[in-house]
Amino acid sequence: MSENIQNFLIGLWQNAPLMAAISAIVLAQALKVPIEYLQHRQWNLHKAVDAGGMPSAHAAGVAALTTTLAYVVGPSSPVFATAVVFTAIVMYDAGGIRRHAGEHAVLLNRLAMEIARSGINLEPSATSEGERLKEILGHEPREVLVGAAIGVVIGIVFGKWW
């Protein structure tokens, strides 16, 4: 491995905000599996890579990034200010716009099924099971808040000790 690549990888590893964000995302995604089991009493390993659900990995990642940046660059830094705005936008999007898009997908899928049952002939791909819209896209506000709390805790840990 060339020295440049090695230095690059070491630099990534030593980047506390980046490592905090990645760790928060991975932890939040991993937590979705046991939480799904507790809610529905069946294991669904696909939840580890699925969007939506409890907790929000989006919120966890940006909260960890921003919290760690508060330690690394300080709260008066323009980089920290940028991260705060970025975090607010991502969390709003995860709990608002993306959630509403998922609710629209539920209605559109239901409408497509009713049209297919009524005998109206549509394009075959429009009514096939494989072409259904993804319904779980965003998060409920509590899922965003739990994800953010996970991110803040991880951000504090990485900010103080990484």
Token pair, residue 149, equals 């709390």
pLDDT value, residue 57? 94
Measure CA of the first residue to CA of the last residue in the chain; give whole Å. Answer: 25
Cα angle 148, 34, 162; round to 5: 45
Query: How many domains are contained in the chain?
Result: 1
- If you average pLDDT over residues 38-60, what whole number do you get? 87
Which residues constitute the domain of residue 37? 3-161
**pLDDT-above-90 percentage for the chain:** 57
Closest CA to 79 of 68, 92, 89: 68
Length of the chain: 162
pLDDT in tens, 112-146: 777 777 776 666 554 455 466 565 556 788 999 99
* 28 and 117 Cβ atoms separated by less than 8 Å: no
pLDDT in tens, 56-87: 999 999 999 999 999 999 999 999 999 999 99
Q: Name residue 29's amino acid.
A: Q
Computed over its alpha carbons, how large is the radius of gyration of the chain? 20
CA atoms within 13 A of residue 80's CA, in its CB half-sphere? 13
pLDDT value, residue 127? 47
d(Cα 160, Cα 85) in Å, to the nearest integer?
23
Kindly report the pTM of this predicted structure. Answer: 0.76
